[in-house]
Structure 1
């Protein structure tokens, strides 16, 4: 009996330790499934049915490898991605990457705020034009007046909202044999429509802002635990790398699992009933109501709001980290605005610029398209930089990336470049 109780206690402590170790990787993975991503995955499922499901399985190791390298870079160097690039590459390389990142992030923020406003309008009947400024104010207040620890705690709980899409998929009653075949047997169509969708999926899944955010948050976490100072190489232990690996792999697996179920939901309802011309998450949610019932509709709609609350701070925060590191400014989410005014100015300007896009008549679908294209263009060269940096023993010491990580890093850059070329060619 005592042995049984001891085993139960050990099992409970192992599970508790697993969840306690989750942090930057889980938040990063969950933030990847933002309203823009939901729109992209809904479009894919509506247009092509179950066929794109294999992309969730395919992109997982690529996404996990890149984020693991970014996490390792931040942990070992004590610097975010922009800070490392600033020290090792010419300024045109640094500012070219930062400029594209800021533009893509502002478009993404605008599209996400618009999606959150539209979703709330569907539930409340109150026009989205009133909701987008309210959400902007709420998110800016959260970032300005909370510490990193509080934000991380809130973000970890917010990730639970993504289970709404898993439940919605089961409510849609898909053809599970067709789902299994489409998942395990890749199938593609050589057409501009499919290649554009494939590029959008990769650009939405393996997004440059997540690279900057992952590295910056690892630095933030090290500083919060008083293990390193900014810019100083940290002697990372095997246990710390194990925890980071568990965190990142769990976050990326969670992200791709949600992506899988969003495509599945759209395929089982919209595509199955001939609704193949969906352009936004709002249209997908509206179309779900008569096809899958009010439960799936409400889960899908509330998920848009919840994921927006998770992703928009990451978009604004990653922009601020990139600019602050590029300019050698002091500033982080743990610092108060009066101590790091320029850091928080970038946060505020990014948020206001994204909000403004919703009031100047800029089409939300175009915002999604442009941000996906910019992400697709920016990601491959950044992945090359990350792979080179984490393979450099002068920078990383004995903690350089493993041959497997380097292989997947190069493979990701090649696949994303080929996808963009293929889209342009068709």
Structure 2
């Protein structure tokens, strides 16, 4: 057959695959930075369980928490990203060089315990949801997710792995889709968002603590700072901004846009989860939700099987993001603290300690599935540790970001500083309220 005739023949799907992949790499979603992934990881399966419980127990009267928490979470995460990009080092490395060793060890040790318990709660939820969707045994599905996410982190280079994570962020749209399957009184939604009927009880306060603790979590601080370092290393000529003043305005603008948009995406999703469970479960009198999978199951008779299915698939999608972020943040923190080589772009043999922490974190979380510790107990204790750790850690982050010896001329501005310290104060109150008897 002549070359002209061959050229006119329709190309098969696999011959067009390189062109399609090239177009995907040029897609705007492929160009966003760590802010989007961090935002989506904030809505991990244990977070979905917390938001579902808030909506089921208090209905529309918990919606206000999301717009209030948005500027706080965005400022803290943008500050972490700024520290990483300006210094070229992650949070643990900066804490190590600036504060006494006891500060570093307490922070890293607490983070490791909280992350392992959080991973345990997340993979348990993913296994339950997978059983709900496929009918396969939950423990088998949990093992599949654990070893699958671990293999992706260890054996696939960061620049390829991160593209996979970015496309998974679309899974959060599932929670907005649920609202199209049920009736929503948007006038009441707007009213209760700005003027909630708050019941001043310790139970209400405990749920508020859970929502804020889930939204502003220490593991996200370490992850985003270190991912800025990873992104910098991935660019051949990139340097820390403290050594590259020419690119500083562009990079800092990019960090601001990336982080605030990522946090907005996360915050809106949490708002939709609270709203979806408020207009279904709360209205039906179902006020106790222990797991994200239970929320998906409860939606089936109220909003139909399609709503339950997309809610469940959203849990699986964000779980595949949240678990690697939890394990990766622990790896970054301990590796920087110990002075080990680290980075998801490195080969396993070149960063054994870093990948060892990731592997051990995930495998210990898997072992917890077969221990007397229930997923809800794991989630509770991770929330307690995160709640106690977040307050001093945010204070440390703000001190680092305002230190000219660390940041040079790129210290955070007055507005960000004020919002950050207000966050410390509110999270401090939340940490105290966590121990108020219900």
Structure 2-normalised TM-score? 0.91
Residue 183 of structure 1: CA displacement?
Answer: 1.2
Partner SS state of residue 334, structure 1: coil
Structure 1-normalised TM-score? 0.94
Partner SS state of residue 276, structure 1: coil
Indicate the RMSD between aligned Cα atoms, in angstroms. Answer: 1.5
Structure 1 residue 293 and structure 2 residue 292: aligned?
no
Q: In 1, Cα distance between the equivalents of 2:138 and 2:241?
A: 43
**Contact 1:213/1:317, CA 8 A, preserved across alignment:** yes
In structure 1, the partner of 2:318 is 307
Structure 1 residue 348 and structure 2 residue 359: aligned?
yes
In structure 1, the partner of 2:191 is 181
Residue 21 of structure 1: CA displacement?
Answer: 4.1
Partner SS state of residue 343, structure 2: coil
In structure 1, the partner of 2:50 is 40
Match of 1:248 among 256, 259, 270: 259
Aligned residues: 411
Larger Rg belongs to: 2
Q: In 2, Cα distance between the equivalents of 1:91 and 1:73?
A: 19
Q: In 1, Cα distance between the equivalents of 2:27 and 2:395?
A: 34
In structure 1, the partner of 2:427 is 416
Gaps (5+ residues) in structure 2? 1-25
Q: In 2, Cα distance between the equivalents of 1:287 and 1:74?
A: 42
Structure 1 residue 390 and structure 2 residue 401: aligned?
yes
Deviation readout 1:339-398 (Å, 9 max, x if unpaired): 111110001000001111111132111111111111111111110001010001121111
Match of 2:337 among 284, 302, 326: 326
Residue 217 of structure 1: CA displacement?
Answer: 0.2
In structure 2, the partner of 1:12 is none
**Contact 2:400/2:406, CA 8 A, preserved across alignment:** yes
Match of 2:93 among 83, 88, 113: 83
Matches within 5 A, 1:63-212: 63-212=73-222
In structure 2, the partner of 1:268 is 279
Residue 230 of structure 1: CA displacement?
Answer: 8.2
**Contact 2:241/2:248, CA 8 A, preserved across alignment:** no
**Contact 1:79/1:231, CA 8 A, preserved across alignment:** no
Q: In 2, Cα distance between the equivalents of 1:253 and 1:232?
A: 28
**Contact 1:113/1:132, CA 8 A, preserved across alignment:** yes
**Contact 2:124/2:142, CA 8 A, preserved across alignment:** yes
Residue 169 of structure 1: CA displacement?
Answer: 2.2
